[in-house]
Amino acid sequence: MAIDKKFINQFVNVTVKAASAAYNLVGKKNKNAADQAAVDSMRSELNKIDMTGEVVIGEGSLDEAPMLYTGEILGSKTGPALDIAVDPVEGTNFVANNLPGGIAVLAIAEKNNLFNAPETYMNKIATGKIDKGLIDLDFTIEKNIKNLSDFKNKDMSSITACILDRPRHKKIIDQLKDLNVKIKFITDGDVLGALFVSDPKYDVDIFLGIGGGPEGVLAASALDAYDCHFQGRFIFDNNHDIQEAKKMGIDDLNRKYELKEIVKGDSIFCATGITDSIILNGIKFNNNEIMSETLVTHKSSNFKKIIKKVNFINE
């Protein structure tokens, strides 16, 4: 079953409104306020849509997040039953400090088709479309890079790897340097980081490393529409996370998840720029107009497009 295309514009409106709300706090050095503004807006707009939407990835559990909490039911309670994953502001530091790369994100799938990711880290790897079995989380860095360079008929020195600039990645970064691979560092925002592999124009061949598990699910939703390769493995390194995983029905704590296990069936992904990035322009105000750019994918209709919108401030 497919999700009706009519929902595309409605969900674009949700992320545009959330991005616009957060934009009012750009550069104000208050990432929590920016996030809260986007949360308030996103929840209000989602509740206007004719659906029974369950938040499977949200701002946290009910005791941590009074709104957009995991398990919250949104929408008019009429229409299709859908899974909702949200990140009202990915890159809260970018927004707070007026830096590139802040986005408002959501993904929608049919009921029970979006992985309910725990609030833990995930080891991830993503590339564009490749042959099956070519790139794998269980391979060494050298084997993955060599396989990719052979597949693309490029020297290893021409391969570009994108990775979060974190101390935890020192070993991987050292190995990439030893292989003479070009490295594109990102400081936050690994949904956008993973999306760099979706189009050759971004000149990123592989995205890898450890980032947020929920962000992995959001990125997978978009990458699925581009027929990209994505794998993830959650990292459970403390008793609290292990117990939470077991409550969610995750028995094999070392399991490696393929893209089709993370996002099943049809999905819609929307990401609206708050501040400028390589992929998306941020919100722009001009007199009483708000200009926005939203990357939208809808898998079943093979819809992949950046939608530019002009909204009036009093809409």
Other Cβ atoms less than 10 A from the Cβ of 180: the count is 12
Distance CA 94, CA 92 (A): 5
pLDDT of residue 69: 94
Average pLDDT, the chain: 95
pLDDT digits (tens, 9 = 90+) for 241-259: 888 888 888 889 999 999 9
Query: What is the maximum span of the chain, computed from C-alpha positions, in angstroms?
Result: 56
pLDDT digits (tens, 9 = 90+) for 104-161: 999 999 999 999 888 899 999 999 999 999 999 999 999 999 999 999 999 999 999 9
Question: For residue 63, what pLDDT band results from cuts at 50, 70 and 90?
Answer: confident
Question: For residue 36, what pLDDT band results from cuts at 50, 70 and 90?
Answer: very high
Q: What is the CATH number of domain 121-262?
A: 3.40.190.90
Distance CA 206, CA 209 (A): 10
Question: For residue 314, what pLDDT band results from cuts at 50, 70 and 90?
Answer: low
The DSSP result for 210-256, as a single string, is EEEHHHHHHHHHHHHHTT-EEEEEEE--SHHHHHHHHHTT---TTPP
Distance CA 99, CA 112 (A): 36
Distance CA 215, CA 192 (A): 9
What's the average model confidence in pLDDT over 158-166?
Answer: 97
What's the average model confidence in pLDDT over 184-198?
Answer: 95
25-47 core/surface letters (b: 16 or more CB in 10 A; e: else): bbeeeebebbbbbbbbbbbebbe
> Are 194 and 124 within 8 A, CB to CB?
yes
pLDDT digits (tens, 9 = 90+) for 75-118: 999 999 999 999 999 999 999 999 999 999 999 999 999 998 88
Q: Does domain 6-112+266-312 fall into CATH 1.10.579.10? A: no
pLDDT of residue 117: 84
% of the chain surpassing 90 pLDDT: 88
> Are 291 and 219 within 8 A, CB to CB?
no
Cβ contacts of residue 100 below 8 Å, gap of 6+? 94, 275, 276, 277, 278, 282
Letter for the amino acid at 209?
G
Other Cβ atoms less than 10 A from the Cβ of 219: the count is 35
Residue indicated by tokens 């299709």: 80
pLDDT of residue 6: 92
Distance CA 223, CA 228 (A): 5
Q: How far is CA 134 from the centre of its chain?
A: 23
Question: For residue 66, what pLDDT band results from cuts at 50, 70 and 90?
Answer: confident
Distance CA 247, CA 255 (A): 16
User: Of 198, 194, 221, which Cα lies nearest the Cα of 209?
Assistant: 194
Residue ranges covered by each domain of the chain: 6-112+266-312, 121-262
Q: N- to C-terminal Cα distance for the chain?
A: 33
pLDDT of residue 82: 98
81 DSSP β-pair partners:
52
- Is pTM beyond 0.85? Reply is yes
For residue 315, pLDDT over 70 is answered with: no
% of the chain surpassing 70 pLDDT: 99
For residue 62, pLDDT over 90 is answered with: no
pLDDT digits (tens, 9 = 90+) for 221-248: 999 999 999 999 999 988 988 888 888 8
CB hemisphere CA count around 52 (13 angstroms): 7
